[in-house]
Amino acid sequence: MIKKAILPVILCLILVSSCGQNDKQASLNESELSGSTPVSNQIAPEIIPIPSPEPTPEPTPEPPRTAVLMAAGDCVLHKTFQDSAYIPEEDRYDFYSIFSPIQEYLAESDVSIISFESAATNNRKDYTGYPLFNCPPEIFDTFKFVGFDIVNNSNNHQLDRKLAGMFETRDNIKSRGLDVLGVYDGEEPRYLVKEVNGIKIGIMAYTYSCNMNELALTEEQRYKHLALIDRERIQKELADMEENVDVSVVCMHWGVEYRQQPTEEQKQLARDMISWGADVILGSHPHVVEPSEMIEHNGEQKYVIYSMGNFVSNQRRGASGYPLTNKELAEDSMLVKVTFEKNPETGKTIIREVTHIPTWLWRYRENGIFRFKIIPVPHKEFYRNNEYDAEVLAEAYASYDRTMSLVQDYKAEP
């Protein structure tokens, strides 16, 4: 009985022991499969953040481009004026001391123009004043040295030594590295283009007459070699120039001598030229200063100066000849400074600013000879260091008042 009772107990113990071994083996296998380190002690992988892309910077707008044009009035070279520059011991002419005071002002320009009313041939025995002018070509050395770039020879005295003299004058101008307006062979464009800071400035010139000396030429010669005022031709040539430039400048030798106001015909022609594309009109010929004005066209401001006066001459108080009255008015002139501004994004070019710098031509005696000097007057009381005697400055400032009563500076709104 006891043996029968013990046998079942033994079988139970064997089964329990077997089950424990199976659980232990299963637990071991799970540990081997998962690695030797418990899950709770494992190090999580490092998470590296992806950087946000840098924002693309806005492009910096290109600043406006500018170009400065300067223009001077008429050089009317009377014999007294020529003789003042003669150095007899060297048999040469030197005009520099006359023009030297304007050199610093021309240095502010990118393009500069002066009107030259004379021939300038190489015949040393043929220099004369009024009424048929012929001047030593050394004048062009001075023009170049003080900073002028272009000589406008389209005027009533350009044929004072006939057609051959006109071309010789042109050659003498160009040999100094200067450009010429108003004298043509017939094939070249009848305008100049000067590009400054990406701004193309077109410049052309016309004259009312050549004192009838043009009548000695054939019609073909007049058409090919001169630039006489002709409305239809101006309109066509201005349109041609407009296609190749940003701004158009027209030099006009016109008007009534010694009159300080333009004629109605001049004013109408100025407005017509603006409607044809002119941005700036620079007038000469009357020997006295005439008014300036800004004319609005299609929402843009255009500039006209009807006459810049005599830059140099011997027309003045104390001299014979014309003008018969109010001779002091022929002593007044100016430098006109026009600043153009181009928007590089739109390509549009405007007149940003116009400044008038009045000048007065001083004549004085030195060793029994008349001498001349241009005195620029940017503003009243400009000279404070005894540069000139009080009497001289009084005349210069009086000239300033006369000129500024007729012209007005301009500055475009920002």
The answer to whether the peptide bond before residue 136 is cis (omega within 30 degrees of 0) is no
Residue 54 lies inside a defined structural domain of this protein: no
How do residues 77-90 score in pLDDT, each as one tens digit?
A: 999 999 999 999 99
What is the domain count for the chain?
A: 1
Mean pLDDT across 99-103: 98
Containing 375, the helix (H) or strand (E) segment is strand 369-376
- 38 confidence band (pLDDT: 50, 70, 90): low
Q: What is the pLDDT of residue 112?
A: 98
Q: List, for residues 43-70, the tens digit of each pLDDT value.
A: 666 777 777 777 777 778 889 999 999 9
DSSP string across 200-238: EEEEEEEES-STTGGGGS-HHHHHHH--B--HHHHHHHH
* 272 backbone φψ class: left, alpha, beta (φ>0; ψ -120 to 50): alpha
Give the 3-state secondary structure of residue 261: coil
Judge whether 137 lies within some domain.
Answer: yes
User: Is residue 10 situated within a structural domain?
Assistant: no
Q: Are 151 and 140 in contact (CB under 8 A)?
A: yes
Residue pointed to by tokens 């017939």: 186
pLDDT in tens, 227-274: 999 999 999 999 999 999 999 999 999 999 999 999 999 999 999 999
Q: Do 319 and 296 contact (CB within 8 A), yes or no?
A: no
67 versus 16: the higher-pLDDT residue is 67
Instruction: Tell which residue, 377, 307, 259, has the closest CA to residue 115.
Output: 307
Q: What is the mean pLDDT of residues 172-186?
A: 97
Bond prior to 131 in cis (omega within 30° of 0): yes
Is residue 256 domain-resident? yes
Answer whether residue 316 shows pLDDT above 50: yes
| CA 237/CA 191 separation, integer angstroms | 8
Q: Is the pLDDT of residue 14 over 50?
A: no
Encode burial over 321-351: b for 16+ CB neighbours within 10 A, e otherwise: eebeeebbbbbbbbbbbbbbbbeeeeeebbb
Per-residue confidence (pLDDT) for residue 32, from 0 to 100 = 44
Is 181 within the bounds of a domain? Answer: yes
Q: Domain of residue 283: give its range.
A: 65-411
* pLDDT, position 228: 98
Residue 329, pLDDT > 80, answer yes
Distance CA 19, CA 5 (A): 23
Residue 28 has pLDDT above 80, yes or no: no
Higher pLDDT, residue 49 or 351? 351
Which CATH number is 168's domain given? 3.60.21.10
40 falls within a domain:
no
Distance, CA of 310 to CA of 363 (rounded, Å):
14
Identify whether 164 is part of a domain: yes
Q: Answer whether residue 27 is part of any domain.
A: no
Task: Share the mean pLDDT of the chain.
Answer: 91
